[in-house]
Amino acid sequence: MTSGQPPAQKRPLVIGIDLGTTNSLAAIRAGRGARVLRDQHAQALIPSVCCWLPDGSTIVGAEAKALRLQHPDRTVFSIKRLIGRSGQEVQAEAAQLPYRVEIADRGLPRVRIGDRTFSPEEISALILRQVKATAEQALGQSVQQAVITVPAWFDDAQRHATKDAATLAGLDCLRIVNEPTAAALAYGIDGSKDGTALVYDLGGGTFDVSILRIEAGVFRVLATAGDTHLGGDDFDQLLGERILAALRGRTGAVDASNPYVLQAIRGAAEGLKIRLSEADTASLQLDLGEHGHADVTVTRAEFEAAIAPLVERTIACVQRAVRDAGLQLTGLDDIVLVGGSTRVPLVRRRLHELTGKAPHTGVDPDLAVALGAAIQADVLAGNDRSLLLLDVIPLSLGLLTFGGAVQKLILRNSTIPTSVTEEFSTAVDNQTAVELTVYQGERELAQDNRRLGSFHLRGIPPMPAGLPRIAVTFLVDADGVLRVTAREKRTGVEAAIVIVPSFGLTRDEVRQMMLDSIEHAQADYLAREAIDLRNKATAMVTGTRKAMALAELPPDQTYAVHKAVKALDKLLAANADPAALKAGCEELTRVTATIADDVISSAVAKALRTETGGPAT
Ligand code: ADP
Ligand code: MG
């Protein structure tokens, strides 16, 4: 069972990916924090835009974004709005997009580019491929595994579709993680302290607010709110109108339907906006060639006045989310900023006023999600054992088995919700009831773990040990509530218990239990081995006796087997140490090995038939 040290192996790299509506990027764990992976121009953000040129070539990222207005029907952006949704669901959305979305087989949307169509998964995969390539170039090695983030409100279909996109991009998506949880993690909210956090995410075209509760290392999303059509693009739009007005005033004729003009204005507006996050005034000299040129100056006050109604809309969402979470605006522990548009000072100021707490500013808001994803990725890669995983159950859950060991059904760090079913049986003949005792913790022995509760499954018809088939299901729902169900499959008798695992357990206890399990790993392993050995020896004694009662063997063989059985039985009764038990088992194995397998099996089968009065299947 034990083996020598495996050769030191380099762990595979797992990157964290923020697959955004507007921009995507990757990051990797570095030291205590994480760092984003940049391309050769030191750019981390990859615009989530794909362009199919008329010559058939595909461009992804910044260059595709630049082509957006020149090839409006060939440039796909905001694909995240369509992924994992039905054609019917996205109809209204698609009507506002400049590219064509058709409803194909099974009612699923596809994007039409010329004579070809693409699923949202395929397009997301192109973006992921670009992110993967950038990461590989930055790291100088290939990357196969990733953690990918999605909005907290993404449903199962959207999460699955995102995973499928990863597969198409040649990435193994180890886990889908909620964006607000990842962001909180990037800000150092690592679950080691209980509390609440407000995550305010204002990106390019979407706004999400999430209220998180962090308890015993588990992040729970208490409430979400937002606006799927509100973001920095709207700020650009407002500034763009100002620029256009200024141009009209000075040059007279500006063709606002000309895509090149619009592209220039849109780009200029975004540039102005970004400078206004730092400076009180910003101006630009716009050269539109034959369409004219002009200087435009905008003050921050003017900009803030223009966007104030939009910012107030986000504030209303924040108020609603906090209310839905059953919390007070001024009672939140952390205010976390996410998304490029939270660099706008007005946004920060309003949040501060509203919550009475200064938002965290230690992390670049447009990088936070990817950085948090990278930290999660590292935990999943098995490199960080000090950090508790998120949106997951903090401690393993299992059942007491024969002899005092715990069989874990749900392992620590499984994402919630989760469900596992395993089959058990009885240990003693004619047992009509079993007691199921549920334990929480990492240790091998029940006595070292925390007992959560127990219940009985009764009404099992008398059968030889090992024949009843008791399916035990552990189900932890999204709120962390555990429900254990036991069902005897032949008769259908069933019993269940509901437990809240984290109830009453402080995060210090959780941490201690984890540390203990690491510290005692060796001792636990040995204790577990001893129990397993006892169980094995007991089964061998019973099994061989049954077989011998039925098998017809030459007397000398019978004698040798009986002698070995008796010796092993004695060792069991005397609570012998594992080494002696092991020797006893080996001896019994040796003497029974001379008995033909078919004798044993036919004898056992016959025994089972006689005892149950029916075919033993
Ligand atoms: P998403 O999550 O939607 O993919 P991001 O978080 O990358 O988007 O945010 C993109 C938005 O952030 C764009 O509208 C961009 O103009 C805006 N943005 C980036 N930097 C700044 C800044 N310094 N000031 C104001 N807005 C900014
Ligand atoms: Mg984002």
Q: Does residue 189 register a pLDDT over 90?
A: no
Marked catalytic residue, from 121, 164, 179, 215 = 179
| Closest-lying ligand 1 atom to the alpha carbon of residue 231 | 14
Nearest CA to ligand 1 atom 2: 203
Residue from 208, 366, 369, 371 to probe ligand 1 pocket by mutation (most atoms less than 8 Å from CB):
366
C-alpha 211/C-alpha 325 separation (Å) is 7
Q: Does residue 276 register a pLDDT over 90?
A: yes
- Domains defined for the chain, CATH in brackets: 14-231+306-391 (3.30.420.40), 232-305 (3.90.640.10), 393-504 (2.60.34.10), 522-612 (1.20.1270.10)
Q: Does residue 148 register a pLDDT over 90?
A: yes
- Give the model's pLDDT for residue 388: 45
Task: Find the 1 Cα to ligand 1 centroid distance in Å.
Answer: 55
Residue from 17, 18, 23 to probe ligand 1 pocket by mutation (most atoms less than 8 Å from CB):
23
Query: Do 45 and 365 meet the contact criterion of CB atoms below 8 Å apart?
Result: no
Q: Which of 67-71, 499-503, 577-581 has the lowest mean pLDDT?
A: 499-503
Task: Find the 39 Cα to ligand 2 centroid distance in Å.
Answer: 19
Q: Whose atoms come closest to the Cα of 272: which ligand?
A: 1
- Give the model's pLDDT for residue 567: 93
| Closest-lying ligand 1 atom to the alpha carbon of residue 205 | 3
pLDDT digits over 418-433, tens only? 889 998 888 888 899 9
Task: Find the 331 Cα to ligand 2 centroid distance in Å.
Answer: 26
> pLDDT above 90 covers what percent of the chain?
42
Query: Do 21 and 48 meet the contact criterion of CB atoms below 8 Å apart?
Result: yes
C-alpha 292/C-alpha 230 separation (Å) is 31
Q: Does residue 197 register a pLDDT over 90?
A: yes
Q: Whose atoms come closest to the Cα of 367: which ligand?
A: 1
Predicted confidence band of residue 31 (pLDDT cuts 50, 70, 90): confident
Nearest CA to ligand 1 atom 11: 204
Marked catalytic residue, from 121, 201, 234, 488 = 201
Task: Find the 480 Cα to ligand 2 centroid distance in Å.
Answer: 27
Task: Find the 529 Cα to ligand 2 centroid distance in Å.
Answer: 49
Query: For 216, phi and psi rounded to 5 degrees?
Result: 50, 40
Q: Whose atoms come closest to the Cα of 151: which ligand?
A: 2
- Give the model's pLDDT for residue 611: 42
Tell me what the pLDDT averaged over the chain comes to. 84
| Closest-lying ligand 1 atom to the alpha carbon of residue 48 | 4
Query: For 463, phi and psi rounded to 5 degrees?
Result: -145, 160
Nearest CA to ligand 1 atom 10: 204
End-to-end CA distance of the chain: 31
472: left (phi over 0), alpha (psi -120 to 50) or beta: beta
Let me know if 556 is a catalytic residue. Answer: no
Task: Find the 285 Cα to ligand 1 centroid distance in Å.
Answer: 23
Let me know if 508 is a catalytic residue. Answer: no
C-alpha triplet 529, 530, 536: angle, nearest 5°: 85
Let me know if 519 is a catalytic residue. Answer: no
Q: Work out the average pLDDT over 257-274.
A: 82
C-alpha 66/C-alpha 267 separation (Å) is 9
Residue from 210, 276, 341 to probe ligand 1 pocket by mutation (most atoms less than 8 Å from CB):
341
Marked catalytic residue, from 65, 80, 132, 163 = 80
Query: Do 40 and 138 meet the contact criterion of CB atoms below 8 Å apart?
Result: no
Q: Beta partners for 212?
A: 197, 221
- Give the model's pLDDT for residue 156: 67
* CA-based nearest residue to 131, from 34, 201, 62: 62
Q: Which of 68-82, 257-271, 494-508 has the lowest mean pLDDT?
A: 494-508
- Whole-number CA gyration radius for the chain: 32
Task: Find the 201 Cα to ligand 2 centroid distance in Å.
Answer: 7
- Give the model's pLDDT for residue 225: 86
Q: Does residue 599 register a pLDDT over 70?
A: no
| Closest-lying ligand 1 atom to the alpha carbon of residue 340 | 12
Marked catalytic residue, from 18, 164, 236, 524 = 18
Task: Find the 366 Cα to ligand 1 centroid distance in Å.
Answer: 7
Q: Does residue 521 register a pLDDT over 70?
A: no
Predicted confidence band of residue 85 (pLDDT cuts 50, 70, 90): confident
Pocket residues for ligand 1 (CB within 6 Å)? 20-23, 45, 203-206, 231-233, 270, 273-274, 277, 339-341, 343-344, 366
- Give the model's pLDDT for residue 376: 85
Predicted confidence band of residue 501 (pLDDT cuts 50, 70, 90): low
Cis preceding linkage at 555, omega within 30: no
C-alpha 69/C-alpha 258 separation (Å) is 9
Q: Whose atoms come closest to the Cα of 205: which ligand?
A: 1
Query: For 578, phi and psi rounded to 5 degrees?
Result: -55, -40
Nearest CA to ligand 1 atom 7: 23
Q: Work out the average pLDDT over 303-331.
A: 94
Counted residue by residue, the chain has a size of 617
Q: Does residue 241 register a pLDDT over 70?
A: yes
The sign of the dihedral angle between the CA atoms of 411, 417, 421, 424 is positive
- Give the model's pLDDT for residue 204: 94
* CA-based nearest residue to 373, from 358, 395, 385, 391: 391
Residue showing tokens 């009509």: 432
Nearest CA to ligand 1 atom 20: 340
Beta-sheet pairing, 46-47 with 433-440: unpaired
Predicted confidence band of residue 498 (pLDDT cuts 50, 70, 90): confident
Task: Find the 365 Cα to ligand 2 centroid distance in Å.
Answer: 9
Provide the token pair at 355.
Answer: 């919550």
* CA-based nearest residue to 361, from 195, 188, 212: 188
Q: Whose atoms come closest to the Cα of 22: which ligand?
A: 1
Q: Alpha helices of 179-289 — where are they, by DSSP H?
A: 179-186, 232-251, 259-276
pLDDT digits over 533-572, tens only? 888 888 888 878 877 776 666 777 788 888 899 999 999 9
Q: Give 495-526 as a DSSP string.
A: EEEEE-TTTT--HHHHHHHHHHHHHTHHHHHH
Let me know if 93 is a catalytic residue. Answer: no
Nearest CA to ligand 1 atom 19: 340
